[in-house]
A and B are shown apart, each in its own frame.
Chain A
Amino acid sequence: MIDRRSEEYKKRSGDRMARRYRADRRFRLYGQAALVFGALALCILMVSIFSSGYTAFFRTQVALDVELDPDVLGVAAAEQEHLSLEQADYYTVVNRAIYNAIPGELERSDRKLAKGLISNGASVELREMVLENPALVGRTVKVNFTASSDLDQLHKGNVPRDVEEGLRRINDKQLAWYDRWVQEGRVSSTFNWNFFTSGDSRNPEMAGIGGAITGSIFTLLCFVLSFPVGVAAAVYLEEFAPKNKWTDMIEVNINNLAAVPSIIFGLLGLAILLNVFNMPRGTPVVGGMVLALMTLPTIIIACRASLKAVPPSIRQGALAMGASPMQVTLHHVLPLALPGTLTGTIIGLSQALGETAPLLMIGMVAFIVDIPGGVTDPSAVLPVQIYLWAESAERGFVEKTSAAIMIILAFLVTMNLFAIYLRQRFERRW
């Protein structure tokens, strides 16, 4: 027996207890540190993306006085038709407007510098404006043109101006003109709707994610076809399949498939869908099929779990009423398991929305300006657009990339909130 009243025991155990509790506190601290690390990583990620991305939602524009002279445009007053207006020489008009906004005579090299302050897309902007309102021809109007990416970044403060000239994309001369424009109130900032509606572009200031969003929606439309297949497979395995080696194999196979790297599914799509079945490269239909195959295991596993959660008493009750096994499943079990299945599918959907690697394999990396019109048009999708912009060297694409990430995260959060809502609204505890 231990004499717990002895002084010696008390002292020894006191020391020991102090040591043990220290160890306990230390261990607890590790746990807290781990959580803090995770939270910190998330914070840094979010902050670094938001801080570099929010400026993309604003567009710097420069107001220039444009003289829409029919002669310069190349359209004589008599033949002001759409066809000729479409092909008119807006480029020169815009350039003149730029030169006019700068005092003094411009050298040839200066003209180039001056043009570098306004986006290459300015002539297109002017064209659209004129086509919308042909009556403008012959008048002088004040037009807000999108600034070039270099000026845009400078105006937003994303690039420093107080560094050596050689380290800047905008040289001292351009800087002086810019300052003058600011004084004249020509430079302003506006919400960048263009970013949401237009497709990709070589010029960062004109690039938008409209095309990528459309492509993603088309891709997910094709992807959604995997829902009935996934549910059917889960129902078969859970409710009808005989328990034998064969179904065991299917089950093991599904579990393994869920953990196969996504890029392998891209190789599958490339070798089978593109090379064997000759499906069109880089299109939402192929992308959707690859993503569907990739997320099918996730959906099957989620659906099986919610089928499993339906208590056997419900099946037995229905069977006792004389329902056939198929009727039991369709009338009783499946409706009860549907919320869980939907939740799983939405999670699969959000996984598919963010997936990039397999889409690179099937050629969805092309530079596509047009917004796709259907599932068989080559198109980009959001994550691939992010990848493409992230790989571009131009400084202006950094904010675009971050902004696109913000948009994709917004989509994902919405989808997951919806999944959580579904789960809480319909979840039953048995």
Chain B
Amino acid sequence: MENQDKVKQMNGSGVKPGLAAEPTMRAQGKSEKVRDVAPADHRTPKAKSRGVNVYYGAKQALFSIDLDIFENEVTALIGPSGCGKSTFLRCLNRMNDVIDICRVEGKIEIDGDDIYSSGLDVVQLRERVGMVFQKPNPFPKSIYDNIAYGPRIHGLAEGKADMDEIVETSLTKAGLWNEVKERLHDPGTGLSGGQQQRLCIARAISVSPEVILMDEPCSALDPIATAHIEDLMFELKENYTIVIVTHSMQQAARVSQRTGFFHLGELVEVGKTEQIFQNPVDQRTQDYITGRFG
């Protein structure tokens, strides 16, 4: 923890991280520009992507994305719809594998492990990188079984007591324990939308992931439930690395420490959230956050 604090202090001091000459880079021209605007950072990133291109069939959806994601921070990805931010998010736990026509090029590392290398087990990757979806998708099981699902398949609990504890901790961390502790064996689908989404967050953290990906987690929720989730993110970032895709610039400003702006499949600009919102370098970012388009 101490070490991390130190890293935090050094944040934003302006030294390039020395990754400029990554061999995996593809579309040189484009990534060059991105790197210019990316603020340098001394810290070792939790996850980093270099030259990521994604194709859906013949159509290219992402162009050479270079992005660093740091531990114990919320990284927000913003941009107009269809700009590829969700696609990028789904690259981080290889959920794009589910789509037949999707093809990913480039390199994404988490803690130095190339997650697209053939030796890496996608199931174990997803244990480390949890995900929360746009629409709450609790399994048609009880609240308890929803949370216990992950620990059960990954064999994380030794016995019933252990499992009970995991369920309770996860629900507590997700701020749902007090609301559901009386009805753990009711179906998860019977909860309200906001509760369902917190259930899904609890489900995601039940396997103690290192990174949590959130794909517009609040877009199906009302403002009060949204506020709940945002508070939750604030607390969760103490223990986890969070990447959130959001449509709402206000939300990005409220919850994130770093923000990346995507446009037409390119990462236009990435940096500290205040800097992006107050003093963007790129004209497109400027136009987007001032509401000229998007």
Contacts and interface: CB of A to CB of B under 8 A. Distances in A.
- Is there a direct interface between A and B, measured as CB atoms under 8 Å apart in the complex? yes
Interface of A: 1-2, 4, 12-13, 16-17, 20
Contact of B121 (A1, A2, A4, A17): A17
Contacts of A13: 124, 154-155
Nearest to A13: B124
B208 interface: yes
B239 interface: yes
A8 to B, nearest CB: 13
B156 A2 contact: yes
B272 interface: no
Contact of A16 (B128, B154, B208, B239): B154
Contacts of A1: 208, 239
A20 B123 CA distance: 10
A12 B154 CA distance: 10
A229 to B, nearest CB: 41
A1 B208 CA distance: 6
Given A1-B239, A4-B128, A13-B124, A20 B153 contact: yes
A247 to B, nearest CB: 31
B153 to A, nearest CB: 7
17 contacts: A1-B208, A1-B239, A2-B156, A2-B208, A4-B128, A4-B210, A12-B155, A13-B124, A13-B154, A13-B155, A16-B154, A16-B155, A17-B121, A17-B123, A17-B124, A20-B123, A20-B153
Interface in B198-223: 208, 210
A13 B125 CA distance: 12
A12 B121 CA distance: 15
A17 B121 CA distance: 9
Nearest to B121: A17
Contacts of B128: 4
Nearest to A19: B155
Contacts of B121: 17
A69 B124 CA distance: 96
Interface in B101-132: 121, 123-124, 128
Main SS at interface, chain B: loop
A4 B123 CA distance: 14
Nearest to B153: A20
A425 to B, nearest CB: 26
Contacts of B123: 17, 20
A1 B169 CA distance: 12
B110 to A, nearest CB: 11
B155 to A, nearest CB: 5
B112 to A, nearest CB: 11
A12 B208 CA distance: 16
Contacts of A4: 128, 210
Nearest to A17: B121
Nearest to B207: A2
Q: Which 3 A-B pairs have the closest CB atoms?
A: A2-B208, A16-B155, A1-B208
A20 to B, nearest CB: 7
A196 to B, nearest CB: 49
A300 to B, nearest CB: 32
Contacts of A12: 155
A393 to B, nearest CB: 56
B208 to A, nearest CB: 5
Contacts of A20: 123, 153
Nearest to B209: A2
A185 B170 CA distance: 92
Contacts of A2: 156, 208
A2 B205 CA distance: 12
B172 to A, nearest CB: 15
Contacts of B210: 4
A13 to B, nearest CB: 7
B207 to A, nearest CB: 8
B228 to A, nearest CB: 24
Nearest to A12: B155
A16 B239 CA distance: 26
A1 B72 CA distance: 14
A87 to B, nearest CB: 77
A24 to B, nearest CB: 9
B121 to A, nearest CB: 6
B241 to A, nearest CB: 13
A180 B261 CA distance: 96
A11 to B, nearest CB: 13
A13 B127 CA distance: 11
Interface string B127-140: 01000000000000
A1 B121 CA distance: 21
Contacts of B124: 13, 17
Contacts of B208: 1-2
A16 B154 CA distance: 8
A286 B153 CA distance: 61
Contacts of B155: 12-13, 16
A17 B126 CA distance: 13
Nearest to A5: B111
B154 to A, nearest CB: 7
Interface string B145-186: 000000001111000000000000000000000000000000
Given A2-B156, A13-B155, A20-B153, 14 more contacts: A1-B208, A1-B239, A2-B208, A4-B128, A4-B210, A12-B155, A13-B124, A13-B154, A16-B154, A16-B155, A17-B121, A17-B123, A17-B124, A20-B123
Contacts of A17: 121, 123-124
A17 to B, nearest CB: 6
A274 to B, nearest CB: 51
A142 B156 CA distance: 91
B237 to A, nearest CB: 15
A13 B208 CA distance: 14
A369 to B, nearest CB: 60
Nearest to B156: A2
B12 to A, nearest CB: 27
A156 to B, nearest CB: 52
A12 B156 CA distance: 10
Nearest to A1: B208
Nearest to B155: A16
Contacts of A16: 154-155
Interface string B79-121: 0000000000000000000000000000000000000000001
A248 B210 CA distance: 54
